[in-house]
Amino acid sequence: MNNPPSYEREVRGYLIGFGKALALTLIPFGLVAWQKLPASVVLVVIGVCALWQIVVHGRYFLHIDLSQQKREDLLLILFSVLLLGIMAGGTIFIMANLSHRMH
């Protein structure tokens, strides 16, 4: 049975994305489990791996790229992230302000 090239390319893309996502998960896990580096370095590595994880998921699983056709999807995702950031930041600000006033 001969599969069309687009199917094989799509499966290959998913496998590459899975491998990258797995590596970006195992690196922080290993650093935390073995405790060989200072906590501040481990936190920076976790943050960098988390950001790269977002990029990998967007590129390989959500198929978001910079082409004209997909740009609307990217703008929608970025706008949603902005709204969530404003809501989370505002909530944290209000709760911190209330906590400060209670003391």
Q: Which residues are CB-contacts of 53 (< 8 A; sequence separation ≥ 6)?
A: 21, 24, 25
CA distance linking residue 75 with residue 66, whole number of Å: 10
Cβ proximity of 70 and 64 under 8 Å: yes
Instruction: State whether 19 and 56 are in the same domain.
Output: yes
Instruction: State whether 49 and 75 are in the same domain.
Output: no
Instruction: State whether 48 and 4 are in the same domain.
Output: yes
Instruction: State whether 48 and 76 are in the same domain.
Output: no
Q: Environment class of residue 52 by beta-carbon count within 10 Å: exposed (0-12), middle (13-18) or buried (19+)? A: middle
Does the pLDDT value for residue 1 go beyond 60? no
Domain count, the chain: 2
- Structural domain range at position 82: 68-103
Instruction: Supply 65's token pair.
Output: 């790229």
14: left (phi over 0), alpha (psi -120 to 50) or beta: alpha
Q: What would the pLDDT profile of 70-89 be if each residue is shown by its tens digit?
A: 788 888 889 999 999 999 99
Instruction: State whether 53 and 88 are in the same domain.
Output: no
Instruction: State whether 59 and 27 are in the same domain.
Output: yes
Instruction: State whether 3 and 47 are in the same domain.
Output: yes
Instruction: State whether 19 and 42 are in the same domain.
Output: yes
Instruction: State whether 91 and 45 are in the same domain.
Output: no
Q: Considering the entire predicted model, what is its pTM? A: 0.74
CA distance linking residue 27 with residue 13, whole number of Å: 21
Segment 49-54 shows an average pLDDT of 96
Instruction: State whether 34 and 19 are in the same domain.
Output: yes
